[in-house]
Amino acid sequence: MTSPQGRPNSSPAVLLLRSLRPQQWTKNLFVFAGLLFSGHLLDRSVWPAAAAAFLIFCGLSGAVYLVNDVLDRAADAQHPIKRHRPIASGALSPRIALTAALVLTAACLVGAIMINAGLAVAAVSYVGLLVAYSAVLKHHVIIDVLTLSAGFVLRAVAGAVAIGVPISHWLLACTTLLALFIGLSKRRHELTLLSDGAAGHRPILQEYSPYLLDQMISVVTAATLVAYSVYTISSETAGRLGSDRLGLTIPFVLYGIFRYLYLVHQRNEGGSPSELLLTDRPLLICVALWVAAVVLVIYVI
């Protein structure tokens, strides 16, 4: 016997792990943004809280994926790629998925409370926002993408409050814009992949068009580059970090965004930003070099 994916039948535990989508957990690296840009990266005393926040959001995002897959299982079954997911294919029971989501959420929220109240508030807000997205907000044009970007912002906020550093307005602005860039690119990929069947799978897609999304992506791309550039060269940033060389990292951001646009428009990719980051070598190298450059500028030279 084989599963709907054409693989030997897997145990519920394996199917559950697959439904948690660990390959998507790279999104939770946004949790470390506050640590990286606060100047506390070398402070070992804050690392346990930062790592705990990362693990907590991995657990919470996995729980949200379970809830989303249960709610969308009928539509996902008609999708050329998502139909292979354990819940959509019928290999994993919705009851098991929802029970696991409840247990995982409770455990993560308890963990957040044990760190501090700020992280607990961020974790509860994240769960509430993403559940609202899965149930209602994803059916409203523009609000759907804004909600997803807010999820990234809450990750960054969680990382900052977990280690007790101020939440920079630049952190919020750059995270919001970058998340919008990724979210709009994902919508474009869905629209072009499904073509005439897009509205049948996700009704909100009928409110978008490739032209409209391209216009939005252009605006967000420009805003992202300007916001990051102004942040890196501002006197405020130089005074807080003790370095006026952060602008040297701008070329990596330029290449990374342009590479992503190339993959979306020329390669018809972008449906899964996390997988794209892990599978596209030039993009992965660019991100690694950007992180290395930021660390070198802030903490070494």
pLDDT tens digits for 121-167? 999 999 999 989 988 998 899 999 999 999 999 999 999 999 999 88
Cβ 294 vs Cβ 249: under 8 Å: yes
Same-domain check for residues 32 and 139: yes
- The last residue of one of the domains, among 137, 167, 197, is 167
Looking at the structure, tell me whether residues 177 and 295 fall in a common domain. yes
Residue 8 pLDDT: 47
**What CATH code is carried by the domain that includes residue 123?**
1.10.357.140
Residue 217 shares a structural domain with residue 269: yes
Residue 176: per-residue pLDDT = 94
Question: Which residue blocks in the chain are alpha helix, DSSP H?
Answer: 12-19, 33-37, 47-71, 73-76, 86-89, 94-115, 117-135, 143-163, 169-194, 198-201, 210-233, 235-241, 250-265, 273-279, 281-299
Instruction: Express each pLDDT in 200-209 by its tens digit.
Output: 566 788 888 8
Domain boundary among 112, 136, 167: 167
Per the structure, how many domains does the chain have? 2
Q: State the residue range of the domain holding 41.
A: 16-167
pLDDT at position 161, please? 96
Residues (pLDDT < 70) of the chain are 1-9, 194-202, 270-271
Asked which of 167, 189, 216 is the last residue of a domain, the reply is 167
Same domain (yes/no): 192, 301: yes
pLDDT value of position 1: 39
- If asked whether residues 114 and 196 sit together in one domain, one would say no
Residue 139 carries which side chain, given as an amino acid letter? H
